């Protein structure tokens, strides 16, 4: 979804700021806010799902040998997150529409998007959209800002409490603990980036809601532009942060990029061959050096010294 925001919404916004004309007209006025709000929903519910996953990992009785989740289960979760986010963003399509204004200085006709429900809507739909417009500021603040931050902080506190309790009773593997800490740091990093990038928008929404009669249209447009570019920054930084903090995902991404290059095939084959030979050498040497010196012959048949 971040990819769609960067490659569809960003060119439309830049084109509008340069030419004062709205690319794709009324369609972009409805689709761009819909995609931007859907992006907030996707990030919010993804952070909540990741927090639940970390909680299950901490409370699992067999944390070191968790079964790999089936592909159908992952697709179902993603479908719930995406469909739910898009469903909650449907009022944005009915809320925005294209408007034109003539500059008093230059006399140039400029196109802009205004938050005004169409009077052609059915009465019941119009009242629902109008209610959504009045509650939009607090809905933004509660669902798309407070919910992911509070949910992530709560899950992290509970997970750390359980992990610290289990460390006192049993000693887990070092590799497993490092993997869990990397995943927790990834979720915390995503939450921090999301919180920093959505804070200006929520502050601007509250300021505009209570001070909009005293603010000019140019100021309101500038604040809206700043909020959009914070969202674009979040969509650009999030994939990079994932690849840098989540090492398995970054390694898988590099492997996929390497597989696309024909020149990487011989190196990969040679590296795999060298890794296999190194593994065989280490196994043979460990079996040789770890062999007990004064063990009776019947004990050797019970298994390898490893």
Give bridge partners of residue 112 from the DSSP assignment: 99
| Domain-located, residue 22 | yes
Cα angle vertex 294, ends 288, 297, to 5°? Answer: 80
Model confidence pLDDT, tens digit, residues 25-81: 888 888 988 999 999 999 999 988 888 887 777 776 655 555 677 888 889 989 999
| Domain-located, residue 211 | yes
| Domain-located, residue 19 | yes
What is the rounded (10 degree) CA torsion for 215, 220, 223, 229? 180
pLDDT, position 136? 87
| Domain-located, residue 273 | no
Domain extent, residue 30, equals 1-61+68-168+176-260
| Strand boundaries in the chain, DSSP class E | 96-102, 109-115
Give bridge partners of residue 114 from the DSSP assignment: 97
C-alpha closest to that of 32 among 110, 113, 88, 111: 113
Model confidence pLDDT, tens digit, residues 215-263: 777 777 788 888 888 888 988 888 888 888 777 777 777 787 777 665 5
**Number of domains comprising the chain:** 1
Name residues whose C-beta falls within 8 Å of residue 19's C-beta, 6 or more positions apart in sequence.
none
| Domain-located, residue 305 | no
pLDDT, position 262? 54
pLDDT, position 282? 43
Strand (E) or helix (H) holding 144: none
| Domain-located, residue 296 | no
pLDDT, position 83? 93
Q: What number is the average pLDDT over the span 292-301?
A: 46
For residue 194, the domain's CATH number is 1.20.1070.10
Q: Give pTM, 2 decimals.
A: 0.73
pLDDT, position 202? 86
Cα angle vertex 284, ends 278, 287, to 5°? Answer: 135
CB 47 within 8 A of CB 148: yes
| Domain-located, residue 271 | no
pLDDT, position 1? 85
Model confidence pLDDT, tens digit, residues 119-169: 888 888 888 888 888 888 888 898 899 998 888 888 888 877 776 665 555
| Domain-located, residue 207 | yes
Burial 47-73 (b: 16+ CB within 10 A, else e): bbebbeebbebbeeeebeeeeeeeeee
Name residues whose C-beta falls within 8 Å of residue 286's C-beta, 6 or more positions apart in sequence.
305, 306
């Amino acid at each position: 979804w971040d990819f769609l925001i960067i490659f569809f919404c960003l060119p439309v916004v830049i084109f509008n700021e340069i030419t004062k004309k709205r690319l794709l007209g009324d369609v972009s006025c409805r689709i761009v806010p819909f995609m931007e709000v859907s992006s907030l929903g996707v990030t919010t519910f993804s952070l909540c799902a990741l927090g639940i996953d970390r909680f299950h990992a901490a409370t699992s009785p067999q944390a070191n040998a968790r079964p790999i989740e089936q592909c159908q289960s992952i697709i179902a979760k993603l479908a719930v997150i995406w469909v739910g986010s898009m469903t909650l963003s449907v009022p944005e399509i009915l809320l925005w529409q294209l408007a034109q204004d003539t500059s008093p200085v230059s006399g140039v006709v400029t196109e802009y998007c205004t938050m005004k429900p169409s009077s052609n809507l059915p009465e019941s739909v119009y009242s629902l959209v109008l209610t959504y417009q009045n509650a939009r500021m607090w809905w933004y603040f509660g669902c798309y800002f407070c919910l992911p931050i509070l949910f992530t902080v709560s899950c992290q506190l509970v997970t750390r409490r359980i992990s610290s309790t289990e460390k006192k009773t049993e000693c887990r593997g070092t590799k497993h603990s490092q993997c869990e800490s990397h995943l927790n740091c990834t979720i915390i990093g995503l939450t921090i980036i999301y919180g920093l990038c959505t804070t200006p928008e929520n502050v601007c929404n509250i300021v505009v809601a209570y001070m909009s009669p005293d603010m000019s249209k140019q100021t309101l447009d500038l604040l809206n532009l700043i909020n959009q570019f914070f969202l674009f920054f979040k969509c650009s930084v999030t994939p990079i942060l994932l690849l840098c903090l989540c090492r398995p995902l970054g390694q898988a991404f590099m492997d996929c990029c390497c597989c696309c290059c024909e020149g990487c095939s011989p190196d990969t084959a040679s590296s795999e061959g060298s890794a296999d030979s190194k593994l065989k050498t280490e196994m043979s040497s460990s079996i040789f050096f770890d062999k007990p010196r004064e063990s009776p012959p019947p004990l050797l048949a019970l298994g390898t010294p490893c």
